[in-house]
Amino acid sequence: MHHIPNIISVLRVILVLPIAIQLYNEAWSSAFVLIFIAGISDAIDGFLARAFKWQSKLGSFLDPLADKLLLGVIFISLAYKGVIPVWLVVLVIARDTLILMGAGFYQWITQELTMSPLFISKINTALQIIFVLAMMYHLAIATLPQQSIFVLQIAVAVTTLLSGILYVKYWIEYTMLYFADKKNNQK
């Protein structure tokens, strides 16, 4: 039973291709439904992992990887279709790449890594999901006011920048602490 959250994360990864196809074909309603299912599955696997203490090291990597892959493909697809600005996609992808590179570098240096997202990162991911769902709702169901879309877009941009900066600070501090501890242990 404790593998259920990881299985749900894998299913979310599997949804990436059908979502990308629906977006490419501008089948907005189908894409909206699949994205909504993926979003609900993210909430369910997180709830199950916490509520039943089914967290695992694999899950701590798999869940955010599924989120990044899914959101990355959606953002790229929507930019490709001219629905959202390219600069926003570049910002989102650059932040995620920076986080992965920082985590990889830290792991390479220290030979250890525990993934725990920063609070601002959770807010950023939630805003990205809300923004994507709002855009899909706008495309598939009913037109939303441009001001609402703009506010969500700016909120995503600001939290993306802020979380990226904080992750860089986080990895630098942890690396410096690692070297300080290593130096102190040699004395």
Exposure letters 6-35 (e unless 16+ CB within 10 A, then b): bebbeebeebbeebbebbeeeebebbbebb
Q: Which CATH superfamily is domain 4-186 in?
A: CDP-alcohol phosphotransferase transmembrane (TM) domain (1.20.120.1760)
Q: pLDDT at position 115, please?
A: 63
Other Cβ atoms within 10 Å of 43 Cβ, number: 11
Q: What would the pLDDT profile of 135-176 be if each residue is shown by its tens digit?
A: 999 999 999 999 999 999 999 999 999 999 999 898 888 888
Closest by CA position to 40, among listed 11, 68, 60: 11
Whether 67 has a pLDDT exceeding 80, the answer reads: yes
Question: For the chain, what are the domain ranges?
Answer: 4-186
Summarised one tens digit per residue, pLDDT across range 100-137 is 888 788 778 877 766 678 899 989 988 998 999 999 99
Q: Could you identify the residue written with the tokens 């410096």?
A: 176
Residue, of 171 and 6, whose pLDDT is higher: 6
d(CA 42, CA 9): 7
Give the whole-angstrom CA distance, residue 115 versus residue 124: 16
DSSP-based three-state secondary structure for 111 = coil
